[in-house]
Structure 1
Amino acid sequence: MLNFFSEDIDFKVANPLKTKKWIKNASKSEGYEISTLNYIFCSDDYLLEINKQYLDHNYFTDIITFDNSEEDNVLEGDIYISVDRVEENAKTFHSDFASEMRRVLIHGLLHLAGYEDSTDALKQAMRGKEDEYLAQF
């Protein structure tokens, strides 16, 4: 089950059925089935509070992924996305909002699938995977 929720803002994913199918196909390509995957869209302030409370970080971020998976090859989790950050990132990277949102959506899925971005080399590998799946949308 793949769900889209808005927390403290009014946000709706463009083309939700197509987006869900795309995310599910990416998951299958990575060798995973989705059990329950919740994307929660929120403001910068809302995600900052989550960042402080759960990760002890005091800065804005575009995404926080909580992995609730209990079985191998089955994804279950909650992915919080700051719509404010995605808008800002789209401007910074000279991208349109829809493309940047898709990048962040797939970024969270890739984290659940085991990809990390803690070093430059890992960031580059993850960016390559993001680009691969963005081209499939």
Structure 2
Amino acid sequence: MADEFPDIQVFNQTSLSIPLEQPFYQAVAKQLSDEEKCSFNFVEVVYVDEEKIVQINSEHLNRDYITDIITFRYDDTNHNHDIEGTMFCCGPRIVEQAQEFNESNKREFLRIYIHGLLHLAGYEDQSEKEKEQMSQKEEFYLNLAEKQYG
């Protein structure tokens, strides 16, 4: 299992061009699973618009605002093997954030994807300490991915 690439399915329901290619999603997920000692079985990455992310946020989390990503884990969360889940990513919000942070769209889309994988692997970002830990991990995996895959 350790040598297999996870099944990552990407769906773009927006008019945006997503700057990451399919093999990249699998390679980054494999890298993260190797480092974090977890395994992803099946992950959907669904890019949606602002209206849809607000609808999902409202229906599932009772929050009425735009966010960059909402992650749902479907498997038994008592272990970190055969992780299954869906990430709903707000493409237009990610593009806005890239501009706000003076980052390329590719880097910001990658950061949000890594953020979702970290959530699936069990990391939270509710407290300041958790947010700091996630930010450090995001930077680590961003730099690793950029070194290896450009």
Deviations 1:41-98 (A, max 9, x none): 1111111110111111000000000011226222110000000110111111111111
| CA distance in 2: counterparts of 1:8 and 1:90, whole angstroms | 17
Listed as ranges, the matches of 1:87-126 within 5 Å are 87-126=95-134
Residue of structure 1 aligned with 2:27, choices 9, 17, 21: 21
**Partner Cα separation in structure 1 for residue 123 and residue 100 of structure 2:** 24
Deviates more, 1:57-66 or 1:24-33: 24-33
User: Conserved in 1, the CA contact under 8 Å of 2:38 and 2:80?
Assistant: yes
What is the distance in 1 between the residues matched to 2:124 and 2:102?
A: 24
Structure 1 position 6, deviation (Å):
1.7
Q: Confirm whether residue 127 of structure 1 aligns to residue 135 of structure 2.
A: yes
Give 5+ residue unaligned stretches, structure 2: 1-6, 146-150
Does structure 1 retain, via aligned residues, the 8 Å contact 2:16–2:91?
A: no
TM-score (norm 2): 0.85
Distance 1:22 1:11, change over 3 A: same
Q: Which amino acid aligns with 2:106?
A: A
Counterpart Cα distance in 2 of 1:108 and 1:78: 9
1:11·1:41 contact (CA, 8 Å) conserved in 2? no
| Residue 34 (structure 1) aligned with residue 33 (structure 2) | no
2: CA distance, partners of 1:124 / 1:10:
30
**Mapped partners of 1:8, 1:19: distance in 2:** 18
TM-score (norm. length: structure 1)? 0.93
Question: Which ranges in structure 1 are unaligned for 5 or more consecutive residues?
Answer: none
